[in-house]
Structures are given as structure tokens and as C-alpha cells.
Structure 1
Amino acid sequence: MNMKFVLQKGKWVLAATGLAILSSFFFSYIKAYLSIGTGNAAHVNQKVELNLFYLVVPLLVAPIIEEWIFRKKLTDLFHKKLSRMEGILFANGIFAFVHLDWFFFSYFVNGCLYAMSYEKTKDLKVPIGAHILYNLFVFVVTSI
């Protein structure tokens, strides 16, 4: 693999992560304005306080499994009956729903950003990397 190819994929990881962070700030502002709780991040942080091993799931296991299921398998399944864009939108709607946060918009937008990085690079490691970096960012910011 040549260095130009690696740098291009690295740019997509950083772009998807940066945009996911920006969208999260936007939705966090809306949640605060509407007096909506922090949801999943607070729950994960409470578990990590009890046992650092709980950090492995949101930082490694979940991004790998979720990207494989929602960006690859589910999108491909929906694409058999719908357009690629519709498949991406439906898969990310489900991605947002399974996070069990009634304020699902940030999950939906972030999922679409990860899907965009996958569509542009055709490499599942790119959205996995972005998802890992994003989850790490959320953990650090919400732990302070």
C-alpha cells in the first residue's frame, strides 16, 4: 500500500471524526437547551469508574461490530431493494435507534458521516478508526 493511499484514508478518518465531533457539539447544545440528559455517555462513564475494562467495549469492540453491521452488511442488504443512499439512510436510522437514546439525531448524523467515509474509501477500517476516535473524544470530554 503506498503512502499517498494511506494519507488519503487518514484524511477521511480525521474528517469523519471532526465532523462527528462538530455535530455532537451542535446536538449537545440542543439537548442542553431542551434540558435533555446526557444519556449513553454518562452510563458508560459510570461503568468505567467501576472497572476500566468497560472502556474496551465502547472504544474497540462496539466500533468494529457496529461499522461492520451498519456500514457494510445492513447497508448492502437494504441496497438490494433500494438505492444506495436509501440503504445508507435506513441502516443509519436503525443504528441511531439501537443506541436507545430518544434523542437519536446525533447517532444518525454520525452514522451517515461514517457511511460517507466508507463509501469514499471502500475500506471499513476508515469508519472504524473514525468511530474509535470519536468515542475516545466523547469519553475524555465527558469524564472531565
Structure 2
Amino acid sequence: MNNLVKSPYVKIILIYVLAQFFPVFLLFFVPENAIFDAAIYSQIIAFVVGSIWMFIVNHRSTFNNSLENTPPVPKKNIILWGIAGMFLAYIGQYLAIFIETFLLNIPIGSQNTAGLVDIVNNYPLFLLLIAIFGPIMEEFVFRKVIFGYLFDITGGIGAAVISSLIFAFIHFDGHYLLYSVMGFVFCYLYWKTKSIAAPIIAHALMNATVTVANLLLY
């Protein structure tokens, strides 16, 4: 049991869970008229601290799987793949939207995106969570931990399917195909570069551009 708790895979997941639920616990001690402000700012703080904590765990720990045991590509290539990954994610997203809209009759709008854009309109600092710290934490959890851990057990495709489906369901948006495709792209980037930095870059760039575009449009 002690070895399980010390596992870097478990540590990363626990950090993610704590970051999600810390704002909820904090609200019990906040006056009613300050609850929404406290929820927003405590979530930002939780994700900043959680991201830093994950980087520390990542630096100090060994993730024993085929992906991590293979040397990563050069740093320049990691950055290039991260940028290219943003465009790959966009292409996958548009294909998923086409299938969801015209074949599955799922409304094109995203309540998740709309809600986040509305929050950023009122709390600009929240953009840091969406564009930087959210992607960092999600890539560590869904790619580094879940995809990486399952890679040698189920194979690359199986690991990508499982991690991408969990990634899709955790967004509670109804656009399961869309988020799953994005998850597949980020899994591919991690597999291609053997560095979690590549999907973090792609995910961060995508979140930032989508949010800013929505802010400008609306």
C-alpha cells in the first residue's frame, strides 16, 4: 500500500483530484456574497500550485514504461511538434464537429467553452488556467499517467482509446467524439516525441487561441 501511494502515477492523480476539490472545500468557509469570487480565484491558485507540484513530481520520479524509457527527440523538434500538434488538433476537431453535427445531430455549440469564455470576460486571470495550467495538469494526468501507464499493457491504440475517452467524459460537455479526437492527437504527440512537453504546448496553444477567438467574436 505504501509503495502504491509513493508511485508517481498515483501522486499525479491525487494532485489533480486535490486541485479540483480544494475550491469546493474552501467555499464552506467563505461568506455567501463572496462565494463565486472565491471559487474562481481558489481554482486558479489550486491549478497553479498543482501544476508546479506535478512538475516537481515529474522531475524527481521515474515513470517506468516504454515511452519514458525511450530518449525524447531534440528540444527543437519537441517545440515544432507542439506547434504542429495544435493544427492537427484543429483538423481533428473540425472533422469531429462535422460528424457530430451532420451524422449524429449533436448541436455544434459547446456549453463548456461558452461557460469558460464567460468567466474570462469577468475574470481575465482565469485565462491563465485555461491556456496554461489546465493543459499542464490534464496532459500529465491523461497522457503522462493514464496513456503512459497503459501503453505497455494494452498497446498504444488501446491506451489512447481509454485515456482519450476518459479525457472526453471528464469535460461533461456531450461532445465526446470531439474531445476524444483531441485526446488522440495529444497521445500521438507524446508517443512521437517521448516528451510530455509536446502535447502540453499543443493543448495550451489550442485552448488559448480558441478562448481568445471566442472573446473577440462575442
TM range (shorter): 0.7 to 0.9
Taking the aligned partners of 1:57 and 1:100, their CA distance within structure 2 comes to 18
Taking the aligned partners of 1:79 and 1:16, their CA distance within structure 2 comes to 20
The two structures have a TM-score, normalised by structure 2, of 0.59
The two structures have a TM-score, normalised by structure 1, of 0.87
- Which one of 189, 193, 204 corresponds to residue 132 of structure 1? 204
1:103 aligns with 2:175: yes
Deviations 1:73-127 (A, max 9, x none): 1123334542232112101110011011112111111111011011111111110
Taking the aligned partners of 1:86 and 1:115, their CA distance within structure 2 comes to 11
1:48 aligns with 2:120: yes
Taking the aligned partners of 1:42 and 1:65, their CA distance within structure 2 comes to 21
| Map 1:50-65 → 2, pairs under 5 A | 50-65=122-137
Per-residue deviation, 1:52: 0.6
The aligned counterpart of 1:27 is 96
Per-residue deviation, 1:140: 2.0
Q: Does the residue aligned with 2:174 lie in a helix, a strand or coil?
A: coil
Runs of at least 4 residues of structure 1 off by over 3 A? Answer: 26-35
Q: Does the residue aligned with 1:82 lie in a helix, a strand or coil?
A: helix
Question: Is this contact kept in 1: 2:168–2:180, CA < 8 A?
Answer: yes
Taking the aligned partners of 1:137 and 1:119, their CA distance within structure 2 comes to 24
Indicate the RMSD between aligned Cα atoms, in angstroms: 2.0
Question: Is this contact kept in 1: 2:96–2:181, CA < 8 A?
Answer: no
Q: Does the residue aligned with 2:125 lie in a helix, a strand or coil?
A: helix
- Structure whose alpha-carbon radius of gyration is higher: 2
Amino acid at match of 2:94: F
The aligned counterpart of 1:5 is 74
Taking the aligned partners of 2:169 and 2:110, their CA distance within structure 1 comes to 16
Which stretches in structure 2 are left out of the alignment for 5+ residues? 1-72
Structure ranking higher on relative contact order (CA contacts 8 Å, 6+ apart): 1
Q: Does the residue aligned with 2:195 lie in a helix, a strand or coil?
A: coil
